[in-house]
Structure 1
């Protein structure tokens, strides 16, 4: 950091005795047009690096430079002085051994520490006893350490507690940033930043606030980020869910129920059957089911930290196998227009009855009617389209059984047969003969007219 044509110098200064007189002359000596200034290079420096206090607009006939720690020319805080003519520098009370002054008055401070942060004053003296004073400032920043996050509650509970996260350590001139899931955190309704953003407060924490969280510290020369922190928020249990969702099972099979509730820490589970305690496990197994196993099963989920309990009830029915129903018909051969009744006779209770036509679900028409819990199908005014194979089917939540088939045959009705076989009456025959003769005469007359018109002849009068 040595400026061009400038040499670092140290040594004694013989003219220090006249400094008081020179200082008094400062009040009446005019200043040059270009004002003396100091430029710190750099303004923000990392600890252990060098800083150059570069002098600008110094007068041409300067005979000496004096550097001070602070904003005034206080001899108690003098760092170094320099005589231009002899190129000799003399250390002052504030000299640390790390300072070098150049022939142009610039001051190099090596291996800076945070104690070097602050203002520096330069006093120049010209040959005509004119004194100028300029100040400059720089800041020294430490290389930032890896921060860590401190929390005030290691196991907050959802909906009850608030939580404060603090980024440590506290560092001057540092900026603090917070992230959750790699997204920047800003002030909100429940998330607030305090203490120069060092502290992040979460009000009324929820299970969705687990994170992970990171804090980052920055200064002008470095940056560092903490390890991610995931919060352990206690919540739940939520209402348990019992699987499988089925509630009807076959007689003689095995029952395997599992219970799960969203909870932190994980819930503890227990089972009850018709109010009687069973096992304290998450899964319940019952082998070779009988009808005695039908009833109310309750799963209880308990959170040992929140001390909350939630329950879910499942009613289970164990069903025996069904026997096929018996289907009868009032008649299996029916004339069109007549009625027929089909009756389904089940052998079981607590069942539902459906009807099948040609192995498909029967679509009821206007002439069909179901009665007695769907066990009787009545077809009024049977049509040819009603001919086919009929079944009834009984079902419960587990089983279904189909009856014997009945085939319904539909024949032509008596009115239609009479109309086909009855002989014509004499009046009808006479009408037919007269109609035929009239048609023949009309055709003959039309042919005669067209013939004479074509030959140009005239017909008989």
Structure 2
């Protein structure tokens, strides 16, 4: 191609550009916003024309950027990580992408002034993932290849879990004969190692995160420990779990009091006897759950029932039931046998009543004697007078003309009451005066009350 041909080719390009600029719609250019920079608009239009001619506009990235990372594996809460984005173009804007989403900046993430250096302070496990940097210029974006950051962490604190068990505070209870599974769950990268320490030596210690015991028995009761370790972070965690194996419950027995029971006794104790120490105890009275009161008192562990002030309606029947969350067993009904007096009064009250009755009898007897003596003293003087008058009369003589059929029988002797004093011999009239004189008593003394 000659020199004229070259000039002709360049003139053709110049004419094409001129025609495009001439045909460009001026009204469309006028519709630009008032705050648009004319120089920017002209530069943009020039870039469009250059792109149509196959010539890249100035500042367009020629190649994809690359990322350099200080370390692609770090330990959580111990190390920092730095990313550097490199590009051959000068007038480009750098954007960072994390797991295919725009990176969210926070206090642990620092960015350099030119945006090409990204630093993560004190890495956390959530910083693990893919990082990319993008170079953007003239509506074109070129992205780097993804760079993956791995953050080692853990193991975290954990608890040993036991299936088919029930937690009772710090102890987990399982039923004898059941199948139980121990397991551990913890967050760790890389996966940790497990070492179990068992309370028995019948099987080798497992090295997995879980293991199972078939038909658990009292031999398996005790404390289980698991040591979890991470070789990358050099962290160790230890968990422990105490296990109690509940035996199959057998029927309990009510132990009665050893003394003979009497109504109104001070107190009576019943004991629910069972070999199962961990079992709960429930008392029943006449088939219903017993409600504690001041009269019916249960011990702290419910193993003993104390009846205060025994009454005749406290005979029962009583039952005690042992239970756990897996089974129950109830005793045979038990009745109290007691000796009941006819009265429901206490022994002290009965004794007081007896003493009162005796006192009333004694008082009645004394009052009767007093009244008898008083009446005898009032009536005796008249009897003595009659006797003295009778003694002055002569007995009738027996005459031949009398209708008597024979000699008169002597009068029977009169026996005087021993309480009546014997009259002295002498003048009967004077003695009579003594008896009937109101101013003197029966002993001849002056009566002061007259």
Q: Report the TM-score, using the length of structure 1 for normalisation.
A: 0.53
Could you tell me how far 1:308 is from its partner in structure 2?
A: 2.0
When residues 385 and 232 of structure 1 are mapped into structure 2, their CA distance, relative to the original with a 3 A threshold, is: farther
Could you tell me how far 1:336 is from its partner in structure 2?
A: 10
1:380 equivalent in alignment to 2:298? no
Alignment map for 1:294-333 (pairs within 5 Å): 294-327=221-254
Match of 1:391 in 2: 319
Match of 1:244 in 2: 162
Match of 1:141 in 2: 59
Could you tell me how far 1:192 is from its partner in structure 2?
A: 0.4
Deviations 1:412-442 (A, max 9, x none): x947xxxxxxxxxxxxxxxxxxxxxxxxxxx
1:346 equivalent in alignment to 2:274? yes
Match of 2:55 in 1: 112
Contact 1:45 1:141 in 2 (8 A): no
Deviations 1:369-402 (A, max 9, x none): 1238432212335799989864323246765433
Unpaired runs of 5+ in structure 2? 1-16, 24-37, 166-171, 346-450
The one of 216, 235, 246 equivalent to 2:153 is 235
Could you tell me how far 1:273 is from its partner in structure 2?
A: 1.8
Could you tell me how far 1:2 is from its partner in structure 2?
A: 2.2
Could you tell me how far 1:347 is from its partner in structure 2?
A: 3.3
Could you tell me how far 1:142 is from its partner in structure 2?
A: 2.0
Deviations 1:288-331 (A, max 9, x none): 43333223322111212112221112222334322111135669
When residues 364 and 161 of structure 1 are mapped into structure 2, their CA distance, relative to the original with a 3 A threshold, is: same
Looking at structure 2, the residues matched to 45 and 160 of structure 1 have their Cα atoms a distance apart, in angstroms, of 52
Contact 2:61 2:135 in 1 (8 A): no
When residues 378 and 177 of structure 1 are mapped into structure 2, their CA distance, relative to the original with a 3 A threshold, is: same
When residues 162 and 363 of structure 1 are mapped into structure 2, their CA distance, relative to the original with a 3 A threshold, is: farther
Q: Report the TM-score, using the length of structure 2 for normalisation.
A: 0.54
Could you tell me how far 1:353 is from its partner in structure 2?
A: 2.6
When residues 398 and 111 of structure 1 are mapped into structure 2, their CA distance, relative to the original with a 3 A threshold, is: same
Contact 1:207 1:234 in 2 (8 A): yes
The one of 177, 190, 200 equivalent to 1:265 is 190
Deviations 1:138-183 (A, max 9, x none): xx13257665654321211101111122345453222122344676
Deviations 1:308-367 (A, max 9, x none): 221112222334322111135669x99899966443122334444333457665442233
1:178 equivalent in alignment to 2:61? no
Alignment map for 1:156-235 (pairs within 5 Å): 156-169=74-87, 171-180=89-98, 184-185=102-103, 187-194=105-112, 196-211=114-129, 213-225=131-143, 231-235=149-153
Contact 1:46 1:142 in 2 (8 A): no
Contact 2:61 2:136 in 1 (8 A): no
Looking at structure 1, the residues matched to 123 and 285 of structure 2 have their Cα atoms a distance apart, in angstroms, of 63
Match of 2:218 in 1: 291
1:2 equivalent in alignment to 2:18? yes
Could you tell me how far 1:220 is from its partner in structure 2?
A: 2.9
Contact 1:294 1:317 in 2 (8 A): yes
Higher strand share: 1
Deviations 1:8-57 (A, max 9, x none): xxxxxxxxxxxxxxxxxxxxxxxxxxxxxx9576425798x5359xxxxx
When residues 327 and 145 of structure 1 are mapped into structure 2, their CA distance, relative to the original with a 3 A threshold, is: farther
Looking at structure 2, the residues matched to 398 and 176 of structure 1 have their Cα atoms a distance apart, in angstroms, of 67
Could you tell me how far 1:224 is from its partner in structure 2?
A: 4.6
Give the structure with higher Rg (CA).
2
When residues 383 and 198 of structure 1 are mapped into structure 2, their CA distance, relative to the original with a 3 A threshold, is: farther
Match of 1:403 in 2: 331
Higher helix share: 2
When residues 342 and 219 of structure 1 are mapped into structure 2, their CA distance, relative to the original with a 3 A threshold, is: same
Unpaired runs of 5+ in structure 1? 8-37, 53-108, 115-139, 416-461
How many residues are paired up? 305
Contact 1:238 1:263 in 2 (8 A): yes
Could you tell me how far 1:230 is from its partner in structure 2?
A: 5.5
Looking at structure 1, the residues matched to 244 and 71 of structure 2 have their Cα atoms a distance apart, in angstroms, of 48
Looking at structure 1, the residues matched to 138 and 313 of structure 2 have their Cα atoms a distance apart, in angstroms, of 93
SS at match of 2:106: coil
Looking at structure 2, the residues matched to 153 and 46 of structure 1 have their Cα atoms a distance apart, in angstroms, of 44
Match of 1:445 in 2: none
